[in-house]
């Protein structure tokens, strides 16, 4: 089968237009953790493009590699890591199809550079020999060569190269050692390019018969062991390596979980509090911009669009950047150092209870700060169904945007109350919200893994890579790539939706009467807008949840972001749009009366609203990032839908059940 439709990605067409026809296409293949990313970054610098392969969630990375002055830069494709050409996952299928020239309408590579980890030769050579067997030009880049040298592992690269029949170039990407030699070897290999093996033949290699595959596999390993033992002087003193000694502490029965807790607390603290300053700064800058637009431009609809729609929308998009940068700063360090695999090792048993992989732990925990970077972090989960399941439950983690909603409700209806005389009711309710979110996530994940995302459990065979000092270059690349992706792919969607939501509140226009103050005008505008009318329309539907049409407006407008409901309610209740001073809003909520004189808001309404906000996907940024990460509108639509149903049902049960139990 061909996993790849029509074109590779737009980066492919961009580059082929820019470069002359004779420029080479080179594929970079190799085992996961073999140092492929570092080499790719060293060869291409910042001239990289990241996109999705069409129709699938697999990311394609390519960049320009200046081989030599006399040649046009080559296009270097960084393939997903793979252990063999017998693919078991979608990532691997794509890599294999490109390598075997089977991907339709994709340029098959002129030369394949196989990254081989010198400290783990036998296993890495498995893929390399499979590729050599396809008879396409192959060059081996021997990474971690400095490490092998340090551990007294003597590799006779000439001998190894003769035995394999392909050039071998030792490289140290971080110090840029061996890169020029690699270029020369690739150029030479491209010129010696012989007839390519027809795809039919390579199909024949992938045997269906399990037993024959096994015996072929054993033979290949025997062959590799023979040539490696000829060319390598092993230093096997049997002593556990440095990594294993570090693991004694890091995955220790008691210290392991403790260290994980400290690491996650640090990450959490960083996304939660260290980003407040830059986020507030962005907020202030854009508020000032918006105000200055109002002051300098004539009052009117265009100015409103600019000030409240566009500038506020751009500010809303940029406000996510600090959190995304902070989370990916930590994630790339955790990945690069090898700790991420240990975190998955420690938590796998826990996550398996809900049918998920250990690698889902960090993204889910990060979602307590904000689901947007959390969902972006699910990229480390290879199995696509596990990844989708993780994405689908990430928004149930109570994020920081829910806190203003919780605290408003608690300030209005539960302030000063104590349970058993000591514990603050408000604190208990907030804790309950966090726990309820986790419980719902667990239930939803188990149901999804048994139904729509049902699949045979993928093997949990995960390499525990040696610990390394994180490479600053890789960290910077990761930050750069993730923020570009967010701004380009998700940012545009978020901006679009925020302009749409602005229009719902801004139209139709209500003319201000002479003498009315600005606050009254704003309030009347919102009440009469499309959103205000929609609030009335949905009132019968949300009435069983204890909500009136004013809350309905809040629900609609807070699809932009959960905390928006506070400013909307402030405007609707005519207490001014000030999120700083909540006391007037709290009073307004307490004093609001229905036509019959009964209070609109009761503690039960507050609780019902909190549960609704916990469970509903009231966040367009989450929707936008799910769209980008799953590469379809199907999953985000499903997510909004099922979360809305859940939220409705839970609020209904809370409000109606509370009434039956005699609560107000």
Partner 1 sequence: MTLDMVPQNVMARVASVAPTDAHSLRLMEMGVVPGAPVRVVKTAPLGDPIHVCVRNYHLALRRAEAKSITVTLNLD
Binding site for partner 1 (CB under 8 A): 83-84, 86, 88, 119-120, 122-123, 126, 210-211, 213-214, 217-218, 221, 236, 243-244, 247, 251-254, 256-257, 341, 344-346, 348-350, 352, 358, 456, 458-466
Question: Least distance to partner 1 from the beta carbon of 235, Å?
Answer: 10
Joined together, the tokens standing for residue 598 give 């009964």
Query: Of 20 and 240, which CB lies nearer to partner 1 in the complex structure?
Result: 240
Q: Are 324 and 367 in contact (CB under 8 A)?
A: no
Measure CA 323 to chain center.
Answer: 12
Question: Least distance to partner 1 from the beta carbon of 84, Å?
Answer: 4
Query: Of 344 and 586, which CB lies nearer to partner 1 in the complex structure?
Result: 344
Query: Of 154 and 252, which CB lies nearer to partner 1 in the complex structure?
Result: 252
Selection from 351, 284, 377, 259 nearest residue 629 by Cα: 377
Query: Of 343 and 375, which CB lies nearer to partner 1 in the complex structure?
Result: 343
Q: Are 288 and 302 in contact (CB under 8 A)?
A: no
Question: Least distance to partner 1 from the beta carbon of 156, Å?
Answer: 18
Query: Of 349 and 594, which CB lies nearer to partner 1 in the complex structure?
Result: 349
Question: Least distance to partner 1 from the beta carbon of 352, Å?
Answer: 8
CA distance 609 to 593: 17
Residue with tokens 């062959």: 223
Query: Of 67 and 118, which CB lies nearer to partner 1 in the complex structure?
Result: 118
Question: Least distance to partner 1 from the beta carbon of 124, Å?
Answer: 9
Helix boundaries (H) for 512-558:
518-528, 530-542, 549-557
Query: Of 345 and 635, which CB lies nearer to partner 1 in the complex structure?
Result: 345
Strands 25-30 and 111-117: parallel
Query: Of 453 and 545, which CB lies nearer to partner 1 in the complex structure?
Result: 453
Selection from 350, 394, 443, 293 nearest residue 617 by Cα: 394
CA distance 579 to 587: 14
Query: Of 33 and 136, which CB lies nearer to partner 1 in the complex structure?
Result: 33
Q: What angle do CA 122, 458, 241 make, to 5 degrees?
A: 35
Selection from 541, 655, 579, 661 nearest residue 284 by Cα: 579
Question: Least distance to partner 1 from the beta carbon of 225, Å?
Answer: 8
What is the secondary structure of 221-259 as a DSSP string? HHHHHHHHHHHEE--------HHHHHHHHHT-TTHHHHH
Question: Least distance to partner 1 from the beta carbon of 238, Å?
Answer: 9
Joined together, the tokens standing for residue 16 give 């082929």
Query: Of 130 and 481, which CB lies nearer to partner 1 in the complex structure?
Result: 130
Helix boundaries (H) for 507-633:
518-528, 530-542, 549-557, 564-572, 583-591, 603-615, 620-630
Question: Least distance to partner 1 from the beta carbon of 229, Å?
Answer: 12
CA distance 112 to 120: 20
Selection from 403, 458, 315 nearest residue 613 by Cα: 403
Question: Least distance to partner 1 from the beta carbon of 396, Å?
Answer: 23
Selection from 136, 134, 113 nearest residue 184 by Cα: 113
Question: Least distance to partner 1 from the beta carbon of 113, Å?
Answer: 20
Question: Least distance to partner 1 from the beta carbon of 309, Å?
Answer: 50
Measure CA 425 to chain center.
Answer: 35
Query: Of 304 and 336, which CB lies nearer to partner 1 in the complex structure?
Result: 336
CA distance 167 to 163: 10
Q: Can you give the length of the chain in residues? A: 664
């Amino acid at each position: 089968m061909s996993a790849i439709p029509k074109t590779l990605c737009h980066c492919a067409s961009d580059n082929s237009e820019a470069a002359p026809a004779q420029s080479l296409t080179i594929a970079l293949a190799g085992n996961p953790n073999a140092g492929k990313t570092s080499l790719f970054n060293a060869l291409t610098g910042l001239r990289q493009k990241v996109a999705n392969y069409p129709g699938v969630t697999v990311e394609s990375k390519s960049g320009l590699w200046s081989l030599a002055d006399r040649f046009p830069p080559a296009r270097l494709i960084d393939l997903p890591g793979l252990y063999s050409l017998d693919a078991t996952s979608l990532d691997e299928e794509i890599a294999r199809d490109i390598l075997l020239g089977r991907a339709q309408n994709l340029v098959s590579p002129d030369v394949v550079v196989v990254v081989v980890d010198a400290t783990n030769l036998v296993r890495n050579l498995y893929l390399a020999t499979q590729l050599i067997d396809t008879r396409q030009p192959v060059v081996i880049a021997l990474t971690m060569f400095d490490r092998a040298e340090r551990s007294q592992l003597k590799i006779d690269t000439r001998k190894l190269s003769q035995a394999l029949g392909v050039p071998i170039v030792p490289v140290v990407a971080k110090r840029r050692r061996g890169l020029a030699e690699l270029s020369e070897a690739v150029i030479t290999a491209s010129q010696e390019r012989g007839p390519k093996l027809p795809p039919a033949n390579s199909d024949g290699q992938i045997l269906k018969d399990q037993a024959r595959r096994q015996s072929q596999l054993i033979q290949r390993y025997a062959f590799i062991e023979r040539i490696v033992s000829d060319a390598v002087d092993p230093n096997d003193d049997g002593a556990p390596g440095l990594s294993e000694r570090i693991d004694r502490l890091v995955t220790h029965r008691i210290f392991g979980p403790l260290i994980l807790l400290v690491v996650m607390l640090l990450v959490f603290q960083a996304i939660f509090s260290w980003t407040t300053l830059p986020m507030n700064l962005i907020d202030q800058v854009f508020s000032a911009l918006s105000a200055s637009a109002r002051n300098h431009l004539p009052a009117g609809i265009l100015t409103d669009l600019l000030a409240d729609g566009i500038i506020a929308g751009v500010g809303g998009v940029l406000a996510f950047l600090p959190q995304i940068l902070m989370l990916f700063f930590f994630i790339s360090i955790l990945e690069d150092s090898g700790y991420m695999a240990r975190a998955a090792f420690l938590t796998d048993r826990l996550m398996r209870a809900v049918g998920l992989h250990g690698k889902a732990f960090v993204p889910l925990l990060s979602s307590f700060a904000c689901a947007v970077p959390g969902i972006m972090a699910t990229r480390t989960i290879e199995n696509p169904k596990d990844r989708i399941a993780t994405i689908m439950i990430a928004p149930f983690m109570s994020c920081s945007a829910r806190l203003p909603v919780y605290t408003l409700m608690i300030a209005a209806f539960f302030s000063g109350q104590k349970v058993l005389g000591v514990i603050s009711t408000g604190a208990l309710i907030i804790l309950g919200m966090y726990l309820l979110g986790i419980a719902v996530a667990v239930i939803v994940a188990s149901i999804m893994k048994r139904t729509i995302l049902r699949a045979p459990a993928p093997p949990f065979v995960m390499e525990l890579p040696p610990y390394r000092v994180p490479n600053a270059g890789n960290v910077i690349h990761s930050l750069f790539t993730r923020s570009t992706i967010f701004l380009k792919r998700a940012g545009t969607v978020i901006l679009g939706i925020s302009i749409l939501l602005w229009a719902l509140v801004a139209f139709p226009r209500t003319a201000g009467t002479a003498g009315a103050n600005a606050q009254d005008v704003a309030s009347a505008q919102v009440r009469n807008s499309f959103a205000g009318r929609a609030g009335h329309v949905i009132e019968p539907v949300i009435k069983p949840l204890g909500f009136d049409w004013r809350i309905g407006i809040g629900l609609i407008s807070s699809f932009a972001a959960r905390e928006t409901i506070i400013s909307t309610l402030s405007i609707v209740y005519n207490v001014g749009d000030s999120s700083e001073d909540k006391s007037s809003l709290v009073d307004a909520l307490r004093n609001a009366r229905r036509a019959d004189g009964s209070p609109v808001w009761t503690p039960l309404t507050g609780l019902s609203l909190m549960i609704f906000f916990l469970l509903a996907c009231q966040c367009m940024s989450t929707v936008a990032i799910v769209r980008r990460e799953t590469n379809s509108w199907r999953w985000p639509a499903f997510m909004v839908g099922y979360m809305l149903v859940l939220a409705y049902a839970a609020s209904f049960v809370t409000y109606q059940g509370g009434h039956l139990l005699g609560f107000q």
